[in-house]
């Protein structure tokens, strides 16, 4: 095995000193979407480091922190085959040696919307751990998947606002052949739920097809897909301005991102798609 697994901050800093590095932050349970980030990382930097850390700060008290899949051995094997140089897999005690921390990065108003409304404090936890990882690895590049659109927006804004000398590279959502966006939580779905989960990508396709007729048509087309889907409970369906991540006005024309979140059985999934309102 050529990949090196690193568990401490001091060792990772020593290994990365003087290297041109691309960082791929993950929580493990890796799939082809993560490997697409790795492939892109290998194309832009001499050294690729993938972090695997299930960050407790981004889980609420009723969320699935304990249930979240942890498959480190299998993940390391995949990353070794993908040509990753280092896997940073710290314990929580390494990242938060004193337990809960007082200094955090806040996501502001946008962090309270959509995913942030359903998962209060989630994005503060995300931005805090990303800031810590960027400070530890000091990479030239950091890579994220477009599936987590709100996370991407907030990380890009944070890097810009705080003058962090790292370029954020966004890789398009990787999907199964049937259109289902890859997610570590897909493994929770049974056969019937996997079929029902296709309604998310189908709704986005319907929204895109209706985009030349404006926001009302987009929302109506997407919502109609869920009629009769007993296994799917829609959490939110929204259309936002990509530049602000705030909901667009009724008369908005131009590029927009359609966001969707739903619970399929007991599993919560998200997806999104860029459209152009008004033709």
Domain ranges in the chain are: 4-171, 184-273
The fold for domain 4-171 equals Rossmann fold (3.40.50)
The three-state secondary structure class of 19 is coil
Asked if 146 and 173 touch (Cβ cutoff 8 Å), the reply is yes
Q: Which residues pair with 5 in a beta bridge?
A: 87
pLDDT of residue 1: 65
The three-state secondary structure class of 230 is coil
**Tokens of residue 196, six digits:** 């029902």
Domain 184-273 has CATH 3.30.1300.10: yes
φ, ψ dihedrals at 273, nearest 5°? -155, 140
Asked if 159 and 166 touch (Cβ cutoff 8 Å), the reply is yes
Write out pLDDT tens, residues 47-102: 999 999 999 999 887 777 887 888 999 999 999 999 999 999 999 999 999 988 99
Tens of pLDDT, residue by residue, the chain (279 residues): 699 999 999 999 999 999 999 999 999 999 999 999 999 999 999 999 999 999 999 988 777 788 788 899 999 999 999 999 999 999 999 999 998 899 999 999 999 999 999 999 999 999 999 999 999 999 999 999 999 999 999 999 999 999 999 999 999 999 999 999 999 999 999 999 999 999 999 999 999 999 999 999 999 999 999 998 999 999 999 999 999 999 999 999 999 999 999 999 999 999 999 999 986
Looking at residue 246, the DSSP 8-state letter turns out to be: S
Residues near 114 by beta carbon (within 8 Å), at least 6 away in sequence: 150, 236, 238, 259, 261
- Could you give the CA distance from residue 187 to residue 69 in angstroms, rounded to a whole number? 9
> Is 276 tagged catalytic?
no
Burial of 46 from C-beta contacts in 10 A (0-12 / 13-18 / 19+): exposed
Give the position of tokens 């979407």.
Answer: 33
Count of alpha carbons within 13 angstroms of residue 77, beta-carbon side: 5
């Amino acid at each position: 095995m050529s990949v090196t697994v690193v568990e401490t901050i001091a060792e990772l800093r020593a290994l990365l000193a003087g290297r041109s590095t691309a960082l791929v932050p993950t929580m493990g349970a890796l799939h082809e979407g993560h490997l697409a980030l790795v492939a892109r990382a290998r194309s832009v930097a001499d050294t690729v480091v993938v972090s695997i850390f299930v960050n407790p700060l981004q889980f609420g008290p009723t969320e699935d922190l304990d249930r979240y899949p942890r498959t480190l051995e299998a993940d390391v094997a995949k990353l070794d085959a993908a040509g990753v140089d280092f896997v940073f897999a710290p314990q929580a005690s390494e990242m938060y040696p004193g337990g809960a921390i007082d200094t955090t990065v806040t996501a502001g108003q946008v962090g309270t919307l959509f995913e942030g409304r359903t998962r209060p404090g989630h994005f503060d936890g995300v931005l805090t751990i990303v800031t810590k990882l960027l400070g530890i690895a000091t990479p030239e590049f950091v890579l994220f998947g477009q599936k987590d659109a709100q996370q991407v927006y907030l990380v890009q804004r944070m890097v810009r606002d705080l003058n962090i000398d790292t370029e954020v590279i966004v890789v398009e959502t990787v999907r199964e052949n049937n259109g289902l966006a890859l997610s570590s939580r897909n493994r929770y779905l049974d056969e019937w739920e996997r079929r029902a989960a296709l309604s998310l990508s189908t709704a986005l396709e319907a929204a895109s097809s209706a985009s030349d007729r404006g926001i009302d048509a987009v929302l109506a087309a997407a919502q109609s897909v869920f009629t009769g889907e007993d296994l799917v409970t829609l959490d939110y369906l929204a259309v936002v301005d990509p530049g602000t991540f705030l909901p667009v006005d009724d008369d908005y024309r131009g590029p927009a991102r359609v966001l969707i979140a739903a619970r399929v059985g007991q599993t919560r999934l998200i997806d999104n798609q860029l459209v152009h309102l008004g033709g």
